[in-house]
Amino acid sequence: MGSPELPPALKKVTPLARDDEGSPMLAMKKIMQDNPDIMNMAIGEANFDPPAALIETANRMLADRVNRKSLYTTTRGLTEARHAIGRFVERTLGATVDPEQNIIITVGGTEALHLAVKALVSPGDKVLLPDPGWGPCAVLMNRQKADIVFYELGKTPEGSWTVDADSILEKLDSATKLLVVNSPSNPCGAMLSAEGWIKVMEKAKAHDVLVISDEVYHTYSYIGAYPSALPLDPEFDNLLIINSFSKTLAIMGWRVGFALAHPWLIRQMDVYKETLSACTPSIPQWALAEYLDDSEEYLAWAYDLCYGNMEKAVARLDAIPGVSCSPPQGGFYLFPDFSGVEADSAVLAERILRGGVAVAMGGAFGRGGQGCARLLVSAYWDDIDKALTRIEKALT
């Protein structure tokens, strides 16, 4: 059945989205709604409990009718929350930032990226993106009519995905406007090493290239201390960092992210955000302002949970004939190569779905993802164990 005929007024409109454009996750969600027994390992959620103290703080603030916290905050974000984020950044990313000048609190990391792309990218600008990589980033660049050039992620000798600095350097030149690095990566957990960051930032500065470092999964580094780009450019001359508390604290639906950038760029994003969302949800900001300084114990618990799940799930998947699964360097996804079973990632995802588990098809993340599938390990083990048993049955 074709698309309905548009009324004359809408025929005058240049479409923002093509008829065939849409996230495969939307179709997946519809299938899962219609089949509640299907287990979800596809959608990028931290499917475990948020910090109890954070929930209690938010509930108390919601119920307080005297000191009302449900009013608008400033567009840039609550002062108390920005200062708490500044301290959090210093503890976890290893450099000091000015909460008044370098931080904007956004509606998730997605809005931070949207604001940055709108402020920075013009038609024809050359931008470098990873392949495989998070799909919405390429969508935003396409809507700005950017000239997208993909750099390929690499593999370690042990088979783990990694962000290959040489692959970036090969394509980064004076014509480049913007480079996007996602470390740990969605979908495959690849990371750019501290040594790689030094090379990349040196060349970016030499060619006046701005680097967007997506560090949303930074609390899940399995290769030692997290190598952030921030210590290499704390003045933000060539750097913008995007982050979020969605995965860090398992509060996806609260929609709280943030960006760290040069004061000039923060102001550009601030002014645009005012017409887009006015402010980020207030209760989560107030609750985080009170809680963040005491978050270290929870962060360690969430890390241990995901790391333990990852080790057990890698062993299970790698034992399936035709499947190759190496440990990710970070994040909370696995991105096994199923091409020995089925080379077409869409066919593969449908086959696993028929077995009762939803996975994200690798081809949705770029050419480099073909033959792969993304599975999360950010849940309680009993659920993951059940899903893996279904996958084993579906493939063998």
Each domain of the chain, given as residue ranges in start order, spans 8-50+297-395, 67-294
The pLDDT of residue 43: 85
Cis peptide before 132 (omega within 30 of 0): yes
State what percent of residues in the chain have pLDDT above 90.
Answer: 85
**pLDDT for position 1:** 44
The pLDDT-based confidence of 217 (bands split at 50, 70, 90) is very high
- CA of 223: how far to CAs of 117, 185, 189, in Å? 30, 13, 11
Mean pLDDT, rounded, of the chain: 93
Residue 186 pLDDT exceeds 70: yes
Is 277 strand, coil or helix? coil
Tell me what the mean pLDDT of segment 228-256 comes to. Answer: 97
Residue 377, pLDDT > 80, answer yes
Q: With a cut of 90, say whether residue 215 has pLDDT above it.
A: yes
182 bridge partner residues: 214
The single-letter code of the amino acid at 337 is: D
Mean pLDDT throughout 371-380?
A: 95
List pLDDT tens digits, range 115-125.
999 999 999 99
Q: According to the model, what pLDDT value does residue 101 have?
A: 97
Instruction: Look at residue 49 in the predicted model and tell me its pLDDT.
Output: 96
pLDDT (mean) for 337-364: 92
Distance from C-alpha of 294 to C-alpha of 329, rounded to nearest angstrom: 26
- Structure tokens given for 191: 């990371």
Provide the percentage of residues in the chain whose pLDDT is more than 70.
95
Which CATH topology does 8-50+297-395 take? Aspartate Aminotransferase, domain 1 (3.90.1150)
Query: What phi and psi values does residue 75 have, to the nearest 5 degrees?
Result: -60, -40
Phi and psi for 109 in degrees, rounded to 5? Answer: -65, -25
Tell me, letter by letter, the H, E, C secondary structure of 11-62. HCCCCCCCCCCCCHHHHHHHHHHHCCCCEECCCCCCECCCCHHHHHHHHHHH
Report d(CA 27, CA 139) in Å as an integer. 17
User: Burial, 280: exposed, middle or buried (Cβ in 10 Å; 0-12, 13-18, 19+)?
Assistant: buried
- Kindly tell me if the per-residue pLDDT of 257 is higher than 60: yes
pLDDT of residue 224: 95
Alpha carbons 247 and 249: distance in angstroms, whole number: 6
Tell me if 255 sits within 8 A of 107, measured CB to CB: yes
Tell me what pLDDT residue 188 has.
96
Q: Which residue type is seen at 109?
A: G
Q: Does domain 67-294 have CATH number 3.40.640.10?
A: yes
User: First and final CA of the chain: distance in angstroms?
Assistant: 36
What sign does the dihedral 113-119-122-125 (CA atoms) show?
negative
Model confidence at 350: pLDDT above 70: yes
Give the pTM: 0.93
pLDDT grade for 12, boundaries at 50, 70 and 90: confident
Q: Which pair of tokens denotes residue 249?
A: 């604290």
CA distances from 340 to 51, 211, 354 (A): 41, 36, 19
What is the tens place of the pLDDT at every residue in 42-67? 888 999 999 999 999 999 999 988 88
| pLDDT of residue 389 exceeding 80 | yes
pLDDT at 252: 95
Give the mean model confidence (pLDDT) for residues 317-338: 96
User: What would you report as the CA-atom Rg of the chain, rounded to the nearest whole angstrom?
Assistant: 21
Residue 28 clears pLDDT 50, i.e. is over it = yes
pLDDT confidence of 32, banded at 50, 70, 90?
low
Q: What is the pLDDT of residues 140-161, one digit of tens each?
A: 999 999 999 999 999 999 999 9
Check if 8-50+297-395 and 67-294 are the same fold. Answer: no
